[in-house]
Amino acid sequence: MAENVSRLCAVITEETIDAARAAMMRAATVADIIEIRLDYLTDFDFSNELSLHTLLDNKTHPVIITCRAMSEGGKQFIDDRVRLRLLVEGARRLADYCDIEADHYQQAATYLPDISRLIVSYHNFDETPADLGAIYDRVTALPAAVHKIVTRAKTIDDSLAILRLLEVAKSDGRNLIAVGMGSPGAATRVLSPSRGGFLTYCALDHGKESAPGQFRCDELSDTYHIQRISETTEITGIIGNPVMHSASPAMHNRAFEELHLDLVYLPFEVADLGQFVRRFVRPETRELNWNLRGLSVTIPYKSDVIPLLDEVDSTASEVGAVNTVVIAEGKLLGFNTDIQGAIEPLARTCALEGESCGVIGSGGAAKAIIYGLIKSGARVTVFARDPAKARNLSNAFGVSVRTLDSIERSEVPVLINTTPAGMRDHSEGSSPIPAAWLAGRKIVYDLVYNPQETRLITDARKAGCHTIGGLDMLVAQGALQFELWTGRQPPVAAMREAALAHLRRK
């Protein structure tokens, strides 16, 4: 198999020829190869392959042309004879590759395609079939320069199956494109080139994706530094559900880049934590050959992860929540950096000794901040939707637990939201409490950082409260994580800048 030089493939999904040409010029600055989805075009003559001159004359980068059947994600009906002839002749005369579905291979073969310019593809928009290996065998039996298998990753376990295909293809000496669509497949889009994948797809802008879960080209290049990832690159990432909103990849990858470290930080959307730890994380049982260094742990797994670890430090054990896992000498070690990260911004705003603080929520984040508040000498009241479920906090920390609606009658001057209410991709636009309950408060602190301006923060500011958003906590706890994983002092200013830039793009 020839050495892979193409990494990023920008997919053009414009509706007009002029817009597509403009997009190709932009793509040439950020990608190695360009794919044009002809089926998106509404002003194109599909019956004449010479129409491609308007798109491909003076091209500066290798170009793939494809025109999908509607059954495989195409945007308009085009007779198979017309579109297949267009692709075959277009690749012979002008394009570098044409992508033709495996199910239409035999019909396309009647037009005598140039095999050296042919990509044969399989798509499944519903699932990743259990017989993926058999599908690989069937698709790769069709002569082509490159074979492609793209499926819907319904769980992160499907990503494992897809990445394994790349190992098989590498062993077989084949050029393969293998991608998992959807959030659980995010890791396949970042890691596939480093594991022998021919390329990975990206969109020029949000809203221009050709498939679910597709990253922007600048994200893959500037956030994940995909061209520098190799099989020996050490892996870190965030596990939770959801995670694709997280600013942590931008923050940590910037830190790795600043210090020239061969690490990458990825989002892992996990539905079954135990299975993920067994199949992806624990050295003696994991089924993926990768250099996993550590993980951030977020909602809803900060407490659930503890029984799955080998050792937990005393602070995390007392709190009953782990947000950082370090893999060292074959063991999984748990830590909690949320405590210091959460208290620092608040302590800069007010003296906590003797202060009355109300904590909204009773999950892992609540445990961390309650612990930190008590250690700082504050008096704490917990407000929970279901006080019965929060009794463990009363037992563990000796704090008062009340119903959420009792906030309205309380006089606590400092309110801290530890729930995900208002978080992007979760309940954006909502608030854990009505705006009227904020009157007379001194400080309102929302641990949610994405979006940076939550409904709670907006309401609190209108009520005259001093507000603290979650970005400061994110950076502080992330800096401590970075130090645990690398043993290096983190570039805090760069981390904050990267996190803020991520939030501004959303």
Per-residue pLDDT, 7 = 87
| Distance between CA atoms of residues 363 and 211, nearest Å | 35
302 as an active site residue: the answer is yes
Determine which one of 148, 302, 375, 389 is catalytic: 302
Kindly indicate the confidence band of residue 330, based on its pLDDT and cuts at 50, 70 and 90.
very high
CA quadruple 371, 376, 377, 379: dihedral sign = negative
Over the stretch 29-68, which tens digit does the pLDDT of each residue have? 999 999 999 999 999 999 998 899 999 999 999 999 999 9
Residue 454 has pLDDT above 90, yes or no: yes
Over the stretch 358-377, which tens digit does the pLDDT of each residue have? 999 998 788 889 999 999 99
Sequence-ordered list of residues with C-beta below 8 angstroms from that of 349, at least 6 positions apart, any chain = 443, 466, 468
Sequence-ordered list of residues with C-beta below 8 angstroms from that of 316, at least 6 positions apart, any chain = 306, 322, 334, 335, 336
Long-range contacts of 203-208, Cβ-Cβ distance < 8 Å, separation of 24 or more: 203/10, 203/11, 203/13, 204/10, 204/12, 204/23, 204/26, 204/27, 204/30, 208/11, 208/13, 208/14, 208/23
H or E stretch covering 134: helix 132-140
Per-residue pLDDT, 1 = 36
H or E stretch covering 176: strand 176-181
Write out the two tokens for 164: 């394994």
Averaged pLDDT, 120-143: 97
**Phi and psi at residue 501, in whole multiples of 5°?**
-60, -40
Looking at residue 215, what DSSP letter applies? P
Return the percent helix, strand and coil in the chain, to nearest 5.
40, 20, 40
Residue 503 has pLDDT above 70, yes or no: yes
Structural domains in the chain plus CATH codes:
8-220 (3.20.20.70), 237-336+475-501 (3.40.50.10860), 339-469 (3.40.50.720)
Per-residue pLDDT, 320 = 87
| Distance between CA atoms of residues 289 and 346, nearest Å | 42
314 SS3 class: helix
| Distance between CA atoms of residues 455 and 452, nearest Å | 10
Averaged pLDDT, 320-343: 95
Kindly indicate the confidence band of residue 2, based on its pLDDT and cuts at 50, 70 and 90.
very low
Per-residue pLDDT, 363 = 85
Q: Which residue is it, tokens 């007779």?
A: 79
Facing residues of 178 across strands? 149
Residue 5 has pLDDT above 80, yes or no: no
The DSSP string of 65-90 is EE---GGGT-SS---HHHHHHHHHHH
Per-residue pLDDT, 505 = 80
Residue 6 has pLDDT above 90, yes or no: no
H helices present in 453-491, as ranges: 455-462, 471-486
Rg, Å, the chain Cα set: 26
Cβ–Cβ < 8 Å for 31, 61: yes
167 SS3 class: helix
Over the stretch 273-315, which tens digit does the pLDDT of each residue have? 999 999 999 999 999 999 999 999 998 999 999 999 999 999 9
Kindly indicate the confidence band of residue 433, based on its pLDDT and cuts at 50, 70 and 90.
very high
What average pLDDT is seen over the chain?
Answer: 95
Write out the two tokens for 271: 């539905």
Kindly indicate the confidence band of residue 4, based on its pLDDT and cuts at 50, 70 and 90.
very low
Least confident of 93-102, 161-170, 248-257, 424-433: 424-433
Residue 95 has pLDDT above 60, yes or no: yes
* Strand arrangement, sheet containing 443-446: 400-403, 379-384, 356-360, 414-417, 443-446, 466-468
Geometric angle at alpha carbon 306, from 305 and 309, rounded to 5°: 90
C-alpha of 493 from chain center: 23
Averaged pLDDT, 212-225: 96
H or E stretch covering 178: strand 176-181
